[in-house]
Chain A
């Protein structure tokens, strides 16, 4: 009975101090060292899983009713494997090209990394990337995929980092509807979808609208695509809409991502923009060419808002990291 009492007490003390201490605390440091030591095993797991992912892609491709894929059905196993490898390499090249595109489009100061694992528990949505403090990665750095924001760094070890995805329930990204500049905050949901909160019911939001980062929190660069509006609803007399988004970025394993290491001046929201966002959170009129816009097209003019207003800024729409939220 004594070991039980002692070990339970130790567990409770650990839990208590973990919750109380900051990110630089002793227990967090121990976890960071553990992750550093464990990283080779994670790499191994990622390497082992890669061929299975490739096979999965082949199965998916074979099910697609296209002639080129029908021909693949007639090939023998060896050739199928070869095609799978080539397909995987082509996908990688395509993703890397996408990353280069988004890096140049948004002028991101960033470091490329690869996702080597996902969360080991079912309650949190995180991924592990293969870059750590020795590569210049720091806490709270935003992370982007080739098609948009995927999350934020919450833990850093020497050679790996943990990224909390925007689909995690504890995430929060200040955002706006690209066409109308209506302000809100994107939060993750347990089912993997995203919710755009705090958009007032006098705003103009409709299905298909693209939601981008507003840059107000000072963590994410403004204008990065987050997702597309899937549904908009509001109960009677409600102040805010219930807006469900479909995430823009793919967060599968072995995906290459960009860790944004610093923001240049034009990527951060100015004081005027912050003031304007708080003064008119419902945004303005919809731009005329809105129906033809895609996520990447709208990126460059996402920062060119016509906001003016007072300098009284509140932190209602700021990113989670800037408000100290997080594990």
Chain B
């Protein structure tokens, strides 16, 4: 597993094609299903699911890029201001990958729970932004009703995607080979040049992972 984590050329290309397939699946779902499912004022945001699942794998740079791509795809296929969801998913993916990335051994249930938090935060900020931009005029509906229902539905559907595309799902090894940090990766295995906050973050995570981390030293 550790070798897979280091990545090879063929492994990297497999991971890239795997991510591309996952992106296309989410995009098709967004276009075909999200427009048909509107339950109690909420809709499923498949692009948010894509961003969340890829961020969960732990590679911060890729998560940021994929978050931006997913957000832009959402913006271009909806009627909301272009760039808004791209900004939110870029930031959201970065934060999610930084804080929770690579903790896939905890099981898909916990992953979904964490993702629900991301989903709720993104939807609330999105609703707030739409309210201040004048797209939505009712504060409660914009910041409470739509975000909560959308976050709930999105988190509910995300379980399937975490199961099949997540780092703890069947395609975990493929996802990890693409440069993504393995579940129990050491701070030293992280890609360099990702910011000065890294060592501090790694240190705090080291305490969270307890003994398994030390085994690699």
Contacts and interface: CB of A to CB of B under 8 A. Distances in A.
Given A119-B38, A190-B138, A124 B80 contact: yes
Interface in B124-146: 126-127, 130, 133-138, 140-142, 145-146
A261 B68 CA distance: 38
B76 A123 contact: no
Contacts of A1: 194-197
B84 interface: yes
A44 B150 CA distance: 23
Contacts of B137: 169-170, 190
Interface in B45-76: 45, 61, 64-65, 67-68, 71-72, 74-76
A207 interface: no
B36 A117 contact: yes
Contacts of A31: 75-76, 82
Contacts of A27: 82
B170 interface: no
A38 interface: yes
B122 to A, nearest CB: 12
Contact of B79 (A30, A38, A155): A155
A190 B147 CA distance: 13
Indicate the member of A1, A31, A117, A327 with the most B CB atoms within 10 Å: A1
Interface stretch (A11-19, A86-94, A102-110, A275-283): A11-19
Interface stretch (A2-10, A64-72, A144-152, A238-246): A2-10
Contact of B64 (A3, A42, A164): A3
Given A1-B194, A41-B32, A122 B83 contact: no
A22 interface: no
A128 B126 CA distance: 22
B83 A12 contact: yes
A42 B30 CA distance: 9
A122 B90 contact: no
**Contact residues of B: prevailing secondary structure:** helix
Nearest to A327: B79
A49 interface: yes
A120 B146 contact: no
Contacts of A189: 138
A282 B146 CA distance: 36
A34 B76 contact: yes
Q: Is the interface of A mostly helix, strand, loop or mixed?
A: helix
A176 to B, nearest CB: 23
Contacts of B167: none
B17 interface: no
A7 B91 CA distance: 9
A298 B141 CA distance: 35
Contacts of B61: 3
A121 B64 contact: no
Contacts of A299: none
Nearest to A41: B31
A203 to B, nearest CB: 24
Interface in B156-171: none
B113 interface: no
A4 B87 CA distance: 10
A179 B127 CA distance: 40
Contact of A119 (B78, B81, B86, B127): B78
Contacts of A190: 41, 136-138, 140-142, 145
A284 interface: no
B136 A123 contact: yes
A121 B43 contact: yes
B13 interface: no
A3 B141 contact: no
Which 9 residue pairs across A and B have the least CB separation, nearest first? A45-B32, A14-B83, A15-B83, A117-B35, A190-B141, A11-B87, A1-B195, A122-B146, A190-B138
Interface of B: 28, 30-36, 38, 41-43, 45, 61, 64-65, 67-68, 71-72, 74-84, 86-87, 90-91, 94, 126-127, 130, 133-138, 140-142, 145-147, 149-150, 194-197
Given A4-B90, A30-B82, A123-B135, 9 more contacts: A7-B86, A10-B68, A11-B87, A13-B83, A117-B35, A120-B78, A169-B136, A190-B145, A253-B36
